[in-house]
Amino acid sequence: MFCSRCGLELPSGVVSCGRCGESVQRGTVPVVHGDAISPRSRLVMLLLCLLVGVPGVHRFYAGRIWTGFLWLFTLSLLGLGYLYDLIMILLGEFKDGEGRRIVRWE
């Protein structure tokens, strides 16, 4: 989980951020600098992209079904989409089907 004010990664069970003092609300979507964080794993995304990225399996995992089928039928836009996705995953900027960034490595 991340602090909604300063972006510090917080261990589970804390009540407030140690850096800025922001209270942690239970049951809310964690936020970093205004972007919601996806519960999906960035490590799983990276492995799926590396192993079966050209047919777009990582996009199905991320909940981006329509573009998953597009990647499947066009072989990841002839490989260009695969390279783009790989870079975006490594930078932590890849978003899931609901527009939340996939940044957690767990």
Please report whether residue 105 resides in a domain: no
Per the structure, the complete domain to which residue 7 belongs is given by: 1-37
Is 82 found in the same domain as 49?
A: yes
Is 2 found in the same domain as 32?
A: yes
Please spell the DSSP secondary structure of 31-96, one letter per residue: EETTEEBPSS-HHHHHHHHHHHTTTTHHHHHTT-HHHHHHHHHHHHHHTHHHHHHHHHHHHT--B-
Is 80 found in the same domain as 49?
A: yes
What pTM value is reported for the model? 0.68
Please report whether residue 96 resides in a domain: no
* pLDDT tens per residue across span 71-106: 999 999 999 999 999 999 999 899 999 889 999 887
